[in-house]
Amino acid sequence: MRHAVPAETRKAQEIRATKALEEFKAAPSTGAQWDHWVRVYLRSRYERSAITFERYMTSWRTLELFLAEHGIESPAQLLREHCFKYIEWRGQRHVGVRPGGRNTALLDMKILSIVCKEAVQRGYLPFNPCTGLGLKRAAAKIKPELTEADLDLVEEKIRLDPEPLRTLLLNSWMIARWQGCRITETQFDPQNDVDIVRNKDGSESWTIRFRAKGGRDHIAPIAPKLMPLIRSLREAGARSTYSLEAARRSALSSVWQHFFHRTGLTKKIPGITFHCLRVTAATRMARANVPEAKAMRLLGHASSTVHRVYQRLRHDDLGACFDAMEGRPTSSTSGSS
């Protein structure tokens, strides 16, 4: 090649870049293999949020199966085409993993992208092949509101279920039904996460402290319908609303999905998921004209940073929410046409 000739200079630079990349991929990087560092990295990054860590590790275990099946032992062997292949692979049945939908695959790809970003920082990769893929999420399925007949049917099926799952199913269901909380918030310590405050008039106010999204605490008054369950758990000295050995918090969704399928509830109540309880609670409060601020305060919803900063509601302002969840008219609806 001739010196100072622009076309040949560019060609030389392209050849150099190609050879450098080939050498980078061919040269063994000490400790670069996935199994040498990824699990430790994820634990150190997400150790403060046990739920997030367990969820991400579930995704990583699935990704490990894909990487092993395709002979990808280290980050340098990962190509963009593998990312696209994974979407199709995830929807198929494989030993050790259930088929997942597109959104599940994209969540897994998010974890892989986080790992690859760290690999770039460590010098295991020249660039992150998981970025800029242009993959769009599938439209989420609309979760239905449950009728009283639906709720009664589910509770009937739960009470016929054998132990040890029956206690887990019943307690998590009742807590979410009357509090409208998330599935991960149904497991708490009745001794330490329940506060009892004696008011000036001699009455007592009971509140629950939930571990909400992001690891923050969310405190809400206890629903009247839940008081018997909470009292019985406290009197029995229970340190958990249900056994953690029966199912990890990260696996609760799978436990409930399996329950709905094996009891035939998915056919009798199309679209049913555990999260329908939260949908039902929010819908009933909206239908009963409960002010949105009160409903959001009870459910722990925060649509914006401004809303979280400026909310000033007290626990005793939320009684109408429980009236609505029990199907009774509230003061705001009584007398209306």
| Greater model confidence, 335 or 12 | 12
Instruction: Tell me the C-alpha distance between 185 and 170, whole Å.
Output: 14
What is the radius of gyration, based on Cα positions, of the chain?
Answer: 26
pLDDT tens per residue, range 209-221: 987 766 678 899 9
Helical packing angle, 276-287 and 165-179, nearest 10°:
20
**Mean pLDDT across 182-188:** 90
Instruction: Count the alpha carbons within 13 Å of 24 in the hemisphere toward its beta carbon.
Output: 16
- Read off the pLDDT of residues 224-258 as tens digits, 9 standing for 90 and up: 999 999 999 999 999 999 986 654 555 788 889 99
User: What local confidence, expressed as pLDDT, does residue 235 receive?
Assistant: 95
Residue 46 has pLDDT above 70, yes or no: yes
pLDDT over 70 for what percent of the chain?
Answer: 86
Give tens-digit pLDDT for 280-325.
888 888 888 788 888 888 888 776 433 233 333 456 667 778 888 8
Mean pLDDT (the chain, rounded): 84
As given in the structure block, the two tokens for residue 335 are: 């007398």
Per-residue pLDDT at 233 = 96
Q: What is the pLDDT of residues 135-182, one digit of tens each?
A: 898 877 788 899 999 999 999 999 999 877 899 999 999 999 999 998
Is 212:49 a contact under the CB 8 Å cutoff?
Answer: no
Domain boundaries, the chain: 31-122, 148-188+223-325
The pLDDT tens digits of the residues spanning 54-97 come to 889 989 999 999 999 999 999 999 999 999 999 999 999 888 88
Helix (H), strand (E) at residue 205: strand 204-211
pLDDT at 265: 96
Pair 145, 283: CB distance under 8 Å: yes
d(CA 337, CA 335): 7
pLDDT of residue 20: 64
Position 41 confidence tier, pLDDT thresholds 50, 70, 90: very high
How far apart CA 7 and CA 335 sit, in angstroms, is: 84
Residue burial 207-240, b: 16+ Cβ < 10 Å; e: rest: ebbbbbeeeeebebbbbeebeebbeebeeeebeb
Report the alpha-carbon distance of residue 220 to residue 210 in Å, rounded. Answer: 8
